[in-house]
Every structure is written in C-alpha cells, then in structure tokens.
C-alpha cells in the first residue's frame, strides 16, 4: 500500500534531504515547477502558445508558481502572473524564483475583480493555483472571493465546455492537506499535481453533501503525484492508502475447517435479513463454514432463505457460551439486525470467548450509554465498524474534535485515537473509510473520484462489510488486514456490479472480483 502524508511529514522529508546537503530548496522548487508543467501537458497535450493566469501566493507554493510561469513563457505562452501579498517578504527560495520571473515578465499585484474578469473571458488556456499550499489552516482571505467566483461555477457547471483548465499546485488552495476539510472558499481544480507523496487531504472528503462538493477528494480533480528526487524510504507514522488487498484473497489448499468457521448472530423473527447478508458475505469471501445463530422462533424464517449457511437456535447468552466450547468457531459477527436488548446480552458472552469478533450496528449502539463498559471487555482480536453516528455515540469527544476548530484534525486522527482507547481495530465507515489498530497503524480507503461507488449508499451495505471482515478473520487474517482488505473488496464489488446495486447483490459480486484478481496474478 502506498503512503500518504500530512503536511508536517512532507516538510520533514524535504528538510532532511536539504539538511543532508543532497539537494537545495531552490532545486526542489525547480523540480516541482517542471513536474507541474510536464503533468499538465501529459493531461492536455500542448496546443501551442496559449494563455495562462498564474496565481502566486506568499509562500513556497507561490515560488512553484513563478517557476511554472517562467517555463510556460519559454514555450511561448502569454502569462498573466498575479502576486498575493508583498513579494519582498517571500521565503528566500520563492523570492529567488519571483525575481527570475520578474526579469522576463510582469508581476501584477493581487486584484480580485480583475482576475475574475480575466478568467471569465478565457475560453481556453490554464489557471494555475499556486496561492496557498499544504500549510494553510484558515479560511481563504476575503479578497480571493471574486477569484473563487470565476473558478468554482465554471469548474462544476461547465466541466467540458470552452473554459480554462484549473490546475492546483500540491493541493487546491483552501483545502486542509491533513483533514481534507474545506477551510472556506477553496478553489476547485481539474488537475492537482502533488510532489513526492499524495497528501491525506487529497483522499479525505468531509464534504458538505452530494449537491455541494466541498472536501479535498471532491475538489482536487485528477491527481498526479510526481517524483522530485526525494528518497523513497518509508515515512514513520505515514498513513497507508488502500489501493489493493493487503493479503492474497484466494484460498489455498486445505479442507473447510482449515478456512475457519464463522458464527453470525441474528435478531428475532422478521429481523434476520441483515445477519443473513453478513453470513453470506462471510461465506463468499472464503470462510470454510458459516453458522447463523438466531432465537428459536426465527429458525423457520431463516431456514427458508439459507442453504449453504448452517443454522443454530440460540436462545440466550448462556447458550452462546456453550457454543463457544467448540474451538473451531473462530470468528464471530454481532450487530446486524441483532436488536439492542439482544446485543446487550450477547456481546459480553461473545467477548468472553476471546474469538476474533466483529461488532457492528446494534452491538455498538447498545453501549452508547456506557462506552467504557464495552471498552473494558474488548480484546485485540476485535474489530469495531461504526458509521459516523455510531462513532459519535461511542467516542463523543473525538467526534466533537472532528467538527471542531482545529482544521488539521482528521478522520485518520480520530480513528487512531479511537483504536488506542478501545484496544482493538476500528473501521470508521464512509466514502473515505479510515482504519486503525491499537499499535498506531492507520490506513485509508477512499471511494472517491475514479473509485467512487455512490450506489453503496443503500440499506444493508454495512452489514455486508461486517460479514466480509468476519469471513477474513475466520480464514486467519489479522484484524487490521481483514478490515483493510474487506474495505477494498466491498467497494470493488460495488463497482463491479454498478448502478442499481442493492445490498443483497454485494456478496454475489465477490466471485467476479476474485476472478479478476486471479487473472491479474
């Protein structure tokens, strides 16, 4: 899995290389500007001399902009370069590139209205956003509002019509590179060119809703990550981006018991659909056996729906403890359709058994009044799979921090803290799904841009995800690996099926995904 970095981690990478004497900041800035121009013309072949508006900010991001302006001018482009702030106060490397540009072209002071008018008149060319890079932690200044008005409506209302292409240098101005939060007035892009590693904010998407794209993943457009010559060593504490399964998902040789026996608990009569979908997902992903345990009065209903999945009557927690006397039952799933009262009774008995255990839905909400009571019973082989509402009930202080005043505090931070507190793996669901374990490992699966699967917003999809994790746990995957692999597989199955998906379709799409993986070798 590739790394994605925070702004601080990226600065550390650059600082270490500069302090070692291997490269200068000026050389890195030149490489960054060159890589943007290369990426632009890879995305849109150079039509020959055209026009570009280059918006340069008061920091090193602005320095990248001056490099880009110079390189485009060398190709014969007509450049309108606007400087935000006092150029004499630029950092040294950015000031050097400002001065190099000023020898061949004009640097115009910031004029919000003039920039809006210029963009409105453009039917082609480029607008380069090199205003504020990865270090921004506050809303965009008021005097960028008209520039925003020139960019935002045209980016979203006229995606392919006659207009300039909007290019963000490192990250769209106004987006937190750590949390993906729109700090206010962020500029959207058709293309974002980042350096060395993608940033967390490129994939996190705390947006304002489907009708008002707002988060980093929604605003960045296409993302290109370029090599500027920094060492490719692993970065301590980096987040892993889930772009493929973390383990080989196909079964190896063995018999059914060598692939585990998963137990899924169900609610009462008329409440078993969610548990049945979870059980079917566990079986589809390769658990050797799956048993659904339900109240005696629900046996007939579940028997009418299930064939390959076994059934067992489970009247109470005492009976569950008895079932767990069978050591071959090595993975449990509690929550989907379980019911609050039954969850309060069954969860302690399940955790007593010290099996790999997925707690979802009702198994989490049942402890909203006493989260610490739940945490005291958890063990490191558990996986909690809350959606944001359930997360808020279990970790109210962390949810409050997520919506608080610190724009750099991200979903990744909250999930990492939650896993440490719970002492087990936590998967916080969403289009950007964050996963953390108590050792501090963090991964992100972002179902955005070219991996978007909006049809997953359907009842029961989360129950299937819980079943996929349970099936992988039964097969012997470690909790963190089971959660990361299942998150990828869940989205891949939805994308394989396509629009019109309902939750029952997800387990049936798994074989097609596995066949595609097998074909890839």
Residue list, annotated binding site: 60-64, 129, 133-139, 152, 170, 173, 274, 337, 387, 429-433, 462-463
Residue 49: strand, helix, or coil: coil
Residue 263: strand, helix, or coil: strand
Neighbours of 20 (CB within 10 A): 9
Q: Which residues participate in the annotated binding site for (6S)-NADPHX?
A: 60-64, 133-139, 152, 170, 274, 337, 387, 463
Q: How far is CA 129 from CA 61, 167, 191, in A?
A: 9, 6, 10
Which structure tokens are listed for 309? 């999945």
Burial (CB count <10 Å: 0-12, 13-18, 19+), residue 345: middle
Q: How far is CA 200 from CA 148, 227, 297, 457, 486, in A?
A: 23, 17, 49, 23, 21
Residue 392: strand, helix, or coil: helix
Nearest to 51 by CA among 69, 39, 32: 69
DSSP per-residue letters across 122-147: -SSSEEEEESS-TT--SPPPGGGHHH
Residue 55: strand, helix, or coil: strand
- Where would I find the beta strands (DSSP E) of 70-183? 78-83, 107-109, 126-130, 165-169
Q: Which residues participate in the annotated binding site for AMP?
A: 429-433, 462
Q: Are 138 and 176 in contact (CB under 8 A)?
A: no
Q: Are 366 and 377 in contact (CB under 8 A)?
A: no
Q: Are 255 and 494 in contact (CB under 8 A)?
A: no
Helices (H) and strands (E) counted in the chain, each on its own, are: 20, 19
Q: Which residues participate in the annotated binding site for K(+)?
A: 61, 129, 173
Torsion sign, CA atoms 38, 40, 45, 50? negative
Distance CA 45, CA 291 (A): 57
Q: Are 28 and 245 in contact (CB under 8 A)?
A: no
Q: How far is CA 331 from CA 32, 38, 464, in A?
A: 49, 50, 15
Q: Are 231 and 17 in contact (CB under 8 A)?
A: yes
Q: Are 192 and 214 in contact (CB under 8 A)?
A: no
Helical ranges in 251-298 per DSSP H: 273-284
* H/E stretch holding 69: helix 60-74
């Amino acid at each position: 899995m590739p790394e994605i970095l925070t702004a601080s981690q990226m600065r550390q990478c650059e600082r270490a290389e500069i302090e070692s004497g291997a490269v200068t900041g000026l050389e890195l800035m030149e490489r960054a500007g060159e890589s943007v121009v290369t990426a632009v013309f890879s995305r849109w072949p150079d039509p020959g001399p055209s026009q570009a508006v280059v918006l340069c900010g008061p920091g090193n991001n602005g320095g990248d902009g001056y490099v880009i302006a110079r390189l485009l001018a060398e190709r014969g482009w007509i450049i309108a370069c606007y400087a935000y702030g006092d150029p004499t106060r630029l950092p040294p490397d950015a000031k050097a590139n400002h001065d190099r540009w000023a020898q061949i072209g004009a640097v115009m002071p910031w004029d919000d209205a003039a920039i809006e008018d210029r963009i409105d008149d453009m039917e082609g060319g480029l607008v380069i956003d090199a205003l504020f890079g990865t270090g921004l932690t506050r809303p965009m200044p008021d005097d960028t509002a008209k520039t925003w008005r020139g960019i935002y409506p045209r980016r979203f209302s006229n995606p392919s019509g006659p207009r300039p292409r909007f290019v963000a240098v490192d990250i769209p101005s106004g987006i937190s590179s750590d949390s993906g939060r729109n700090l206010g007035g962020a500029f959207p892009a058709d293309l974002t060119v980042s350096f060395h590693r993608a940033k967390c904010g490129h994939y996190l998407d705390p947006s304002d809703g489907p009708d008002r794209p707002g988060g980093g993943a929604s605003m960045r457009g296409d993302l290109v990550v370029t090599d500027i010559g920094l060492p490719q060593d692993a970065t301590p504490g980096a987040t892993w981006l889930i772009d493929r399964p973390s383990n080989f998902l196909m079964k190896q040789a063995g018999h059914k018991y060598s692939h585990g026996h998963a137990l899924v608990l169900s609610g009462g009569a008329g409440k078993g659909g969610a548990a049945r979908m979870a059980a079917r997902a566990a079986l589809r992903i390769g658990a050797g056996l799956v048993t659904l345990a339900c109240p005696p009065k629900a046996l007939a209903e579940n028997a009418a729906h299930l064939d390959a999945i076994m059934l067992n009557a489970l009247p109470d927690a005492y009976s569950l403890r008895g079932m767990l006397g069978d050591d071959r039952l090595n993975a449990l799933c509690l929550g989907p359709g379980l019911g609050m009262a039954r969850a309060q009774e069954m969860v302690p008995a399940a955790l007593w058994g010290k099996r790999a255990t997925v707690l979802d839905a009702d198994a989490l909400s049942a402890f909203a009044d006493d989260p610490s009571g739940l945490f005291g019973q958890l063990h490191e082989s558990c996986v909690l799979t809350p959606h944001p509402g359930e997360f808020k009930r279990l970790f109210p202080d962390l949810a409050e921090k997520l919506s608080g005043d610190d724009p750099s505090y991200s979903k990744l931070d909250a999930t990492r803290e939650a896993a440490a507190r719970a002492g087990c793996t936590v998967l916080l669901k969403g289009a950007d799904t964050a996963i953390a374990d108590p050792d501090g490992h963090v991964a992100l699966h972002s179902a955005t841009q070219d991996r978007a699967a909006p049809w997953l917003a359907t009842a029961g999809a989360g129950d299937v995800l819980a079943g996929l994790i349970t099936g992988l746990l039964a097969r012997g995957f470690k909790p963190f690996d089971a959660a990361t692999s299942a998150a990828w597989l869940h989205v891949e199955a939805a994308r394989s099926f396509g629009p019109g998906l309902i939750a029952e379709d997800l387990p049936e799409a798994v074989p097609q995904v596995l066949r595609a993986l097998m074909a890839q070798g």
